[in-house]
Structure 1
Amino acid sequence: MRHVLVFAKTPYSKTPYDQWLAGTGIEPVILTTTEFAPGYAHLPLVHAFDDYDTNQLVEKTALRLAREHVVEAVFARAEADVVRAAQLRQLLGLPGQHTASALAFRDKVVMKDHLAGGAVEVPEYRLLDSAYTAVEFVAEHGYPVVIKPVSESGSLGARVIRDEGDLDAYLARPWRGTSQIETFVEGRMYHVDGLVVDGEVVFVHPFQYVNDCLSFRDDDWVGCLPLSPRDASYDRLVKAVGSVLDELPTPPHTAFHAELWITPDDRIVFCEIASRTGGGMISAMVRHAFGIDLDKEWLYAECGLPSTLGEPGYRPAGCLNIPPSTGVLEHLPTGGEPDCVREVSYTGRIGQEFHGGVKSGLYLAGYVVDGDTEDEVAANMQAVAAWYAAEVRWRPADREENAR
């Protein structure tokens, strides 16, 4: 039996690795979170960890298991696992993304260092190593600016600094890790998702955001839907991401999720790119819209298995991620969705206390919605969000719950 080591920071329902690998002669060795472990419990080689993102026993155990089972490949689809997986491959001499590539797709300063002066415009930026740097950067470029962690995803920790009061508030309680500061870009944000196999882009498509990446800050939903190939921005966005992939140390096999702005004066400006599939319900939306499971195809490429990728079809479909509100969840709608809903995912339980949105890719309720046209999908997304808001129920947390 051959083995692949999988860093599995996703529920089994989203990534049934054993089902994907059935009949291939390859068995997955799973490292996952304590939360997701029950879903993988039927598999023989599963190891679960508390504090998964920061627990370094994950790496220690991964190294032991990789040697014990003589794994042929390492697979990781979550942002938290990109660098640890790359380091393990490099240590063991396994094919795939190694450390320098992982850092270029993970660290926003390293990323922009690769891209600055290239084919795609990049905002002015600087590593935020002290408050002095922030003051000097604002003096040079003016307000507004954006401060964000160099290695987080889903807009976690990102702050738009519009004036001196905003800057003082940030400096009084700065992000706990390393951050960067960059000029604010006015414009509409798009994301471009795709798959690279054997060094070639075998699938790519741009998507437009409905609301924006920071909607979760107001406990509002964020959604996205495919851009029509007839849209004037379609080819420009695809070309821009191709240039970015050419200028970065892109691994031979990877999914990618890029974000770019189109400004009011019609410039394309780079935001960031990750060597993974998009968060939230993006992979599910791609599967419904194009008939492609990006995670499965990426796994097959890493394992050296022949692709099952056919000629992509297309049916307009979008997704929306709805964050939790603040309070205790009393009721989730568990049926009776509008007819346009094709897939549903809930991540919370009744009686659980929440404190609002955390990041754009983390949701309490996720939906994939379809329609006959992109405009109809957009309208259906609004209708599903309204239906959910009318059905979900919350109550304030009592003092004992808050104390805990």
Structure 2
Amino acid sequence: MPPTTEGVILVAHRIPAEVTPVGDWLADVADRVVLVTSSSAAAGYAGRFAEVIAVEDYSASTEVVDHLDRLCRSRRVTHLLHSTEDDILRLAQVRQRHGIAGLLEADALVFRDKYHMKVAAMAAVRTPEFLAPGTVDAAAEFAERVGWPVVVKPRLGFGSRGVTVVRDAPALARHLGDRNLDDVLVEAYIPGLVYHVDGFMQAGEVLLAVPSRYLNNCLSFADGEALGSVQLDDHDPLAVELTRFAERVVAALPATDATPFHLEVFRHEQTGELYFCEIGARIGGGHIYEMLTRATGRNPVEFWFRRQAGLSYDAASFTRGTERYGFLLVPPRTGTLEEIKDIPLPPAVQQSTTPQSLPQTYQAATASTDSVASFVVVGSSAADAETSVRACMQWSQDALRWSE
């Protein structure tokens, strides 16, 4: 079915249809949709749209952008849609080149480049001291001034890839020796727990905010430890404080159309003060998508796709119930998963994923969202949900049998 004369809705999206059924979400305009997707996901979308274009190396190659530019030159593209972090900036650049409405490059950079992001946020909220170092010596001088340890991260990274806590000058020199310093940020280390706020923003205002607390942290995978999260109770004073913090951050950043956000916040273990970590103009990773869907009864990714395509979907329909949700990601380790023992899952588990066939050999996780098993749980309160997440941690220790 060729696109109609109404104009093309161009979608760049690498996630499989069984996770994000975009064919269902955009069914009413399917004859206008051209999808550029990963080769592994293409079969699931076949026949659902006017055209499906498969790209082998979706995230790393220039082929996605080449296809988008070609389509924008040859057809009348009215909307350009995306949903993942790796597409935000490059699709903004495509919009800029071809005069397509939506998030453009300068604004997208603030939601992707952690240096520009922190410069914008520091006008509104407390932010750890940071530096984009031009040299290794400049990074070392910064660390000596703010105190060790420091955090080194890629400015354009995501999923905690390449993020390291560095504790002395020799280690810093080794770590930066092979890095492109144009993509490096060094910041003061804030000891304490990490929280996240997820929801929707529009025109500098927060439409929905769901504060949660990480169990362990986004670097736990480096030590082979699971990453969990639990939504906070509405009556928790910290939930109120985190929501207000999110409102100040969003107001300080470029205004967007109705767009999801994922904000991460440090809470200092001694002072209790909140510090900005980072914010993305996207749904958070892990199972935050599923947690938001269950908590609100509405699918946030469907809402975002339809809004980007100019279709109706009321943001006011996102209202929270009284239940609280949590998730757990169990990272792979270097070795072979030989067996999953027949141990019942905790009763609060709403959703779980484990390997379909065994044995399987794995390498250690390289990102916070890498997992060999995952769970979504429900509870009547944050404490209840946390108990169930920790029960899933114990289940994974008891049920997963590894060999080196």
Same fold (TM over 0.5): yes
Amino acid at match of 1:54: A
Deviations along 1:97-127, one digit per CA (max 9) or x if unpaired, are 00011111100111112223x1201111111
Instruction: Verify: 1:313 aligned to 2:320, yes or no.
Output: yes
Aligned to 1:271: 277
Show structure 2 runs of 5+ residues with no match.
none
Instruction: Verify: 1:36 aligned to 2:77, yes or no.
Output: no
Instruction: Verify: 1:101 aligned to 2:98, yes or no.
Output: no
Q: 2-side partners of 1:347 and 1:151: how far apart?
A: 31
Aligned to 2:166: 161
Displacement of 1:60 in angstroms is: 0.8
Task: Report if the CA contact (8 A) 1:17-1:28 is conserved.
Answer: no
Task: Report if the CA contact (8 A) 1:96-1:253 is conserved.
Answer: no
Show structure 1 runs of 5+ residues with no match.
397-404
Amino acid at match of 1:98: L
Deviations along 1:305-352, one digit per CA (max 9) or x if unpaired, are 221442513221111111111113334579953321112235786454
Task: Report if the CA contact (8 A) 1:156-1:360 is conserved.
Answer: yes
Deviations along 1:173-221, one digit per CA (max 9) or x if unpaired, are 5478711111111222111111124664321111111111111111211
Task: Report if the CA contact (8 A) 2:11-2:34 is conserved.
Answer: yes
Aligned to 1:232: 237
Percent identity over paired residues: 32
The alignment's TM-score, normalised by the length of structure 1, stands at: 0.90
Aligned to 2:292: 286
Q: 2-side partners of 1:198 and 1:142: how far apart?
A: 38
Q: For residues 347 and 70 of structure 1, do their structure 2 counterparts lie closer, same or farther at Cα, with a shift above 3 Å needed?
A: farther
Q: Secondary structure at the match of 1:23?
A: helix
**Between Structure 1 and Structure 2, how many residues are aligned?**
395
Deviations along 1:115-172, one digit per CA (max 9) or x if unpaired, are 23x1201111111322111122123222111111101112111111122343244245
Amino acid at match of 1:274: G
Q: 2-side partners of 1:349 and 1:127: how far apart?
A: 45
Listed as ranges, the matches of 1:76-95 within 5 Å are 76-95=82-101
Q: 2-side partners of 1:351 and 1:40: how far apart?
A: 30
Amino acid at match of 1:388: S
The alignment's TM-score, normalised by the length of structure 2, stands at: 0.90
Aligned to 2:147: 142
Q: For residues 328 and 197 of structure 1, do their structure 2 counterparts lie closer, same or farther at Cα, with a shift above 3 Å needed?
A: same
Q: Secondary structure at the match of 2:40?
A: coil
Listed as ranges, the matches of 1:363-402 within 5 Å are 363-396=371-404
Aligned to 2:129: 124
Q: 2-side partners of 1:199 and 1:144: how far apart?
A: 34
Aligned to 2:13: 8
Q: 2-side partners of 1:346 and 1:150: how far apart?
A: 33
Displacement of 1:27 in angstroms is: 4.3
Task: Report if the CA contact (8 A) 1:199-1:252 is conserved.
Answer: no
Instruction: Verify: 1:115 aligned to 2:132, yes or no.
Output: no
Q: 1-side partners of 2:91 and 2:356: how far apart?
A: 28
